[in-house]
């Protein structure tokens, strides 16, 4: 099939790669324009742009798709279908209607749960035990279109957002290739989403990443998992000269009790509002990740110390 691909982050790259491997003709790859990043703030192309150029695919980076000029450019691709994976720009109705078979979106949740921008993070932060991917026929609404294919995945009790991201990216790539094969035979059947169980995965706010040790250990554990590796749940504590931000990248539920935020032992077990949490991997500002125990030794923290809390 002639396909216009639209995506930006690393999550979208396996789908692009799988479609190329399946023999589809990718006539163009739309992605977000390069943005300043890193210490030098040099413009960095998106992962999709880098992958598309390796395959020799034309890359387009419009600021939006609302103008008639952009519509004409899109029309000239004469695409059978557009495949959209975490693109980051809204597709207006005149664009959605151009491909012969419409636009298919790969969404990282079991719709209608977790419509929106951060479904992977929100599923873990909410303590969900299961999630998945959906191949959806796009409408103007936010992730409201009918679903043609869905796959389920169990969320392990210690699984992080980064780990779930990688699982869903590969699963989604395979699902999209299968969906396109069915679509080419006009055998992909779409089912409207249920009006019940709708939730929205809004973008992660900076203030949500701060750990409040007064919360139950299970809630903090889910927060840590859901924000690892990025942006990273964090606490601030006095490590000598001033307060320092410390990210918690991995933790485990543990036994123990005490005043919230109190270091209970040399294994980096922290008392929470109920139960306790053991810090497995942490990262101080400007440093590499390290184990919780190594962090305690380097920071010279002993049992009884209090860590910062919201």
For residue 185, give its domain range. 2-200
**Residue 203 burial by Cβ neighbours in a 10 Å radius (0-12, 13-18, 19+):** exposed
Q: Is-contact 154 130, C-beta < 8 A?
A: yes
Whether residue 131 sits in one domain with residue 196: yes
Query: Is residue 270 in some structural domain?
Result: yes
Q: Are strands 81-85 and 130-137 parallel, antiparallel or unpaired?
A: unpaired
In the prediction, which pLDDT does 91 show?
97
In the prediction, which pLDDT does 43 show?
85
Whether residue 248 sits in one domain with residue 193: no
Query: Is residue 183 in some structural domain?
Result: yes
In the prediction, which pLDDT does 29 show?
98
Whether residue 68 sits in one domain with residue 25: yes
Residues of the chain falling short of pLDDT 70: 38-41, 309-310
Query: Is residue 310 in some structural domain?
Result: no
CA 160 to chain centre: 11
State how far the alpha carbon of 161 is from the alpha carbons of 9, 37, 138, 156, 223, in Å.
15, 22, 25, 11, 10
Strand, helix or coil for residue 122: helix
In the prediction, which pLDDT does 309 show?
47
Which CATH number belongs to the domain containing residue 101 in this structure? 3.40.50.170
Whether residue 215 sits in one domain with residue 189: no
Domain end point (choices 174, 200, 226): 200
Whether residue 239 sits in one domain with residue 180: no
In the prediction, which pLDDT does 36 show?
75
Whether residue 103 sits in one domain with residue 17: yes
């Amino acid at each position: 099939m002639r396909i216009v691909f639209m995506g930006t982050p690393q999550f979208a790259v396996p789908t692009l790669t799988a479609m190329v491997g399946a023999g589809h003709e990718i006539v163009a790859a739309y992605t977000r324009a390069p943005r300043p990043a890193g210490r030098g703030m040099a413009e960095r192309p998106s992962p999709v742009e880098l992958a598309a150029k390796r395959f020799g695919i034309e890359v387009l980076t419009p600021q939006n798709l609302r103008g008639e000029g952009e519509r004409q450019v899109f029309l000239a691709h004469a695409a059978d279908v557009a495949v959209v994976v975490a693109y980051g720009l809204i597709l207006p109705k005149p664009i959605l209607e151009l491909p012969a078979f419409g636009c298919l979106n790969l969404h990282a949740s079991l719709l209608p749960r977790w419509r929106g921008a951060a479904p992977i993070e929100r599923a873990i932060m909410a303590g969900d035990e299961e999630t998945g991917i959906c191949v959806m026929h796009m409408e103007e609404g936010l992730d409201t279109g009918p679903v043609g294919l869905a796959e389920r995945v169990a969320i392990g009790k210690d699984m992080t957002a980064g780990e779930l991201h990688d699982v869903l990216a590969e699963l989604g790539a395979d699902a999209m290739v299968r969906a396109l094969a069915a679509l080419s035979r006009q055998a992909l059947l779409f089912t409207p989403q249920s009006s019940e169980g709708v939730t929205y995965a809004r973008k992660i706010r900076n203030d949500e990443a701060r750990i409040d040790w007064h919360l139950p250990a299970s809630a903090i554990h889910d927060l840590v998992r859901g924000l690892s590796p990025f942006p990273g749940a964090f606490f601030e504590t006095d490590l000598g000269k001033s307060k320092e931000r410390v990210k918690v990248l991995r933790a485990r539920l543990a036994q123990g009790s005490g005043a919230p935020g109190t270091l209970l032992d040399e294994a980096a077990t922290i008392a929470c509002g109920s139960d306790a949490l053991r810090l497995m991997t942490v990262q101080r500002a400007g440093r590499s990740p390290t184990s919780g125990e190594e962090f305690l030794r380097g920071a010279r923290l002993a049992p009884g110390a209090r860590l910062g809390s919201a």
